[in-house]
């Protein structure tokens, strides 16, 4: 869910950004700045706003984070002892103006460019939460060297064609990876980095610096603690401000690049926490440009919310947050929600020319009703009149679905329109018709909503069927959003529809197989499932023996680990039943709990 996690930040960013906050207080610790010295053979002094901040800064050094207020700073780098504080008249080796965004975590790097000349680059560090059990790896190519591929464990091309001065990042299951740096498009090893450990909940940033041909090439490492949310919410984001394409940043991280008007994104799985947000014109560099708008917002735990950037009644950009009603809809009915988020006066919503569904709806308010599923001719009338302000035409309301209609834009200015968000499968059957009354139904619906399961058909999940090892691979790969692997790890899955999923989880150490075989069609036992999830979420070992029936199981440590993490409660207070098959319904709950969202 790298993409999911990134988009998550979007919603919150937009909200805050469009609600305009006060300018940063000059002495407030709102951001962190780390400085990396990657130019070989030159000790320097680093000046910030004409004051010497880092004296005698040696090559191949990474500073601890320095607390900074958000704002603009002049950065100058002099050869040690030659700057203005020492009475020197030498010119700076490197100079730049750096914008530190609210909540941002920034690294400035003095390095060589691809041709070997000194250069200065700055990066916003992604400090968004990683999923449980994952670490973040970031590679920044800042060396005198051609474009490269970054390869893990000999086969997993984590990044391809990375050139100076660019970066790439991925969230992977925590663990130790053998890393090589290869010329782009080649299997030849240009530099063997050895084993690199990605700890859970940390961002490990690797800087390639120096000169590959000059013999000074090396790697520097920066580590950043990432938040560890215990709760999540689900959000959708709606952009209803006409004519304004933006980049949205959350806690200094680019969450939604090029977010165009009249767009709806989601559902997004978001950590329930506070966010610093900043909004920029699309394409603007946040390290050289001050944000147009900045502010803060938060997402409550367990919320299913919609965050809407829109115009207020007078036409000014604003932000509204709505909590979506995801309660069950009666058989035969549909839910219609209308949200007035346009520059327009109060309106009535009329169906089929005479049925006033809602009256006197004002910006930024909403109204909703459960009505018989079907197609309705809908008009938007000036409140209290029969005058049609906007003819929406036929609107089809599907049984069991919540259809959310946003009125956005400017009615008088000609940009008025309707945007639609749908929340499906809220009827009595939920996402599937064969799990009604199942104790795991809520978690089945949740992982289906997030795209982790596709079911066994369009309307069946087969909750009581035993889970196969191939199906398990697909569930875990989708849940963790793992990249593809170019290596075929096993000989017995060539005809399996799950081969790509199996190779993806094998590349990061979740699947190990036996004697070159994975056995994708075999039923997976509860003990084996515990081992898969323990590796997938990189859980800490537990000193507690939770169950009495797993003492002779090779999976006992794995079982205790997932029990300690709250992923399983066993089949009774004292038993886990490690040799029993895992049902698909049980797997839905195990995964939902592992992701921090399940009941």
**pLDDT given at position 301:** 72
**pLDDT given at position 364:** 94
Tokens encoding 194: 């050895």
Beta-strand runs (E) in 69-217 = 71-79, 94-100, 105-112, 118-124, 134-141, 148-152, 156-162, 167-173, 175-183, 191-198, 202-209
Please say whether the beta carbons of 167 and 148 come within 8 A. no
- Helix (H) or strand (E) segment spanning residue 336: strand 333-340
**pLDDT given at position 309:** 83
Of 462, 463, 482, the C-alpha closest to 474 is 482
Q: What is the pTM of this model?
A: 0.70
Those residues of the chain that have pLDDT short of 50 are 1-28
For residue range 527-551, list pLDDT tens digits in order: 999 999 999 888 889 999 999 999 9
Pair type for strands 274-281 and 246-250: antiparallel
**Length of the chain, please?**
599
**pLDDT given at position 204:** 94
Answer CATH for 324-428 from 2.60.40, 2.30.29, 2.40.50, 3.30.750: 2.60.40
**pLDDT given at position 538:** 83
- CATH 2.60.40 residue ranges in the chain? 324-428
Q: How far is CA 346 from CA 320, 342, 359, 365, 376, in A?
A: 17, 10, 8, 10, 21
**pLDDT given at position 45:** 94
Close Cβ partners of 121 (under 8 Å, ≥ 6 residues apart): 108, 109, 111, 142, 165
What are the residues facing 149 on neighbouring strands?
182
Close Cβ partners of 436 (under 8 Å, ≥ 6 residues apart): 428, 429, 430
**pLDDT given at position 1:** 39
Please say whether the beta carbons of 407 and 342 come within 8 A. yes
**pLDDT given at position 18:** 33
**pLDDT given at position 36:** 95
**pLDDT given at position 339:** 97
Q: By three-state DSSP, how is residue 592 classified?
A: helix
Tokens encoding 54: 């880092």
Give dist(CA 400, CA 574) in Å, integer: 40
The Cβ of residue 528 has, within 10 Å, a number of other Cβ atoms equal to 21
Please say whether the beta carbons of 239 and 247 come within 8 A. no
Q: How far is CA 358 from CA 181, 327, 348, 379, 380, in A?
A: 62, 20, 6, 11, 10
Give dist(CA 428, CA 82) in Å, integer: 75
Is the bond leading into 364 cis (omega within 30 degrees of zero)? yes
Please say whether the beta carbons of 422 and 402 come within 8 A. yes
- Using CA of residue 499, residue 504, residue 505, residue 507, what is the dihedral sign? positive
Of 476, 436, 432, 425, the C-alpha closest to 456 is 432
End-to-end CA distance of the chain: give it in Å, rounded: 20
Give dist(CA 527, CA 313) in Å, integer: 59
For residue range 472-503, list pLDDT tens digits in order: 999 999 988 888 888 889 999 999 999 999 99
Q: Given phi > 0 = left and psi -120 to 50 = alpha, else beta, which region is 440?
A: alpha
**pLDDT given at position 445:** 92
Tokens encoding 65: 């984070």
- Helix (H) or strand (E) segment spanning residue 274: strand 274-281
Give dist(CA 165, CA 178) in Å, integer: 24
Give dist(CA 99, CA 71) in Å, integer: 6
**pLDDT given at position 230:** 66
**pLDDT given at position 303:** 75
């Amino acid at each position: 869910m790298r993409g999911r996690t990134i988009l998550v930040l979007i919603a919150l960013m937009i909200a805050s950004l469009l609600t305009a906050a006060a300018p940063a207080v000059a002495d407030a610790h709102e951001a962190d700045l780390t400085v990396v010295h990657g130019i070989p053979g030159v000790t320097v002094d680093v000046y910030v706003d004409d004051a010497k901040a880092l004296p005698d800064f040696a090559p191949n050094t990474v500073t601890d984070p320095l607390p900074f207020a958000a704002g603009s700073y002049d950065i100058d780098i002099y050869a040690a002892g030659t700057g203005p504080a020492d009475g020197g008249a030498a010119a700076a080796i490197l100079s730049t103006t750096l914008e530190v965004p609210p909540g941002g975590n920034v690294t400035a790097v003095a390095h060589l460019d691809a041709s070997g000349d000194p250069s200065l680059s700055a990066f916003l560090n992604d400090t968004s939460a990683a999923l449980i059990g994952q670490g973040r790896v970031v590679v920044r190519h800042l060396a005198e060297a051609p474009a490269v591929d970054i390869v893990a464990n000999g086969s997993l091309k984590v990044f391809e064609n990375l050139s100076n001065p660019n970066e790439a990042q991925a969230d992977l299951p925590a663990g130790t990876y053998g890393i090589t740096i290869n010329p782009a498009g080649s299997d030849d090893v240009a530099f063997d980095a050895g084993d690199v450990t990605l700890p859970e909940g940390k961002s490990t940033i690797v800087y390639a610096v120096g000169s590959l041909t000059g013999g000074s090439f090396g790697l520097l490492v920066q580590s950043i603690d990432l938040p560890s949310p215990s709760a999540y919410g689900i959000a959708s984001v709606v952009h209803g401000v006409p004519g304004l394409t933006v980049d949205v940043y959350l806690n200094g991280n680019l969450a939604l690049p090029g977010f165009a008007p009249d767009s709806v994104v989601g559902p997004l799985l978001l950590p329930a926490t506070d966010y610093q947000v900043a909004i920029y014109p699309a394409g603007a560099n946040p390290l050289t440009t001050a944000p147009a708008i900045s502010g803060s917002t938060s997402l409550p735990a367990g919320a299913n919310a919609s965050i809407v950037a829109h115009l207020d009644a007078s036409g000014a950009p604003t932000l509204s947050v709505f909590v979506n009603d995801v309660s069950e809809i009666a058989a035969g009915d549909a839910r219609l929600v209308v949200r007035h988020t346009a520059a327009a006066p109060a309106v009535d919503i009329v169906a089929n020319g005479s049925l006033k569904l809602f009256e006197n709806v004002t910006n930024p308010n909403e109204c909703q009703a459960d009505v018989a599923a079907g197609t309705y001719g809908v008009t938007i009338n000036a409140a209290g009149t029969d005058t049609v302000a906007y003819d929406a035409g036929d609107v089809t309301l599907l049984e069991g679905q919540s259809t959310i209609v946003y009125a956005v834009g400017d009615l008088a200015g000609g940009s008025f329109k309707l945007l639609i968000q749908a929340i499906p499968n809220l009827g009595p059957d939920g996402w599937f018709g064969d799990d009604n009354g199942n104790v795991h139904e809520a978690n089945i619906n949740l992982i289906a909503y997030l795209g982790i399961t596709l079911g066994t058909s369009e309307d069946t999940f087969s909750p009581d069927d035993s889970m196969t090892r191939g199906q398990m691979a697909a569930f875990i790969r989708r849940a963790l959003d793992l990249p593809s692997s170019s290596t075929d790890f096993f000989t017995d899955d060539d005809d399996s529809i799950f081969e790509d999923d199996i190779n993806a989880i094998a590349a990061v150490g979740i699947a190990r197989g036996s004697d070159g075989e994975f056995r994708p069609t075999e039923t997976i036992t509860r003990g084996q499932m515990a081992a898969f999830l323990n590796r997938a979420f990189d859980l800490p070992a537990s000193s507690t023996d939770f169950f009495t029936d797993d003492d002779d199981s090779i999976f006992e440590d794995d079982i205790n680990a997932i029990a300690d993490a709250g992923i399983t409660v066993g089949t009774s207070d004292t038993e886990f039943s490690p040799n029993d098959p895992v049902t698909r319904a049980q797997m839905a709950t195990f995964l939902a709990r592992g992701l921090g969202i399940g009941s």
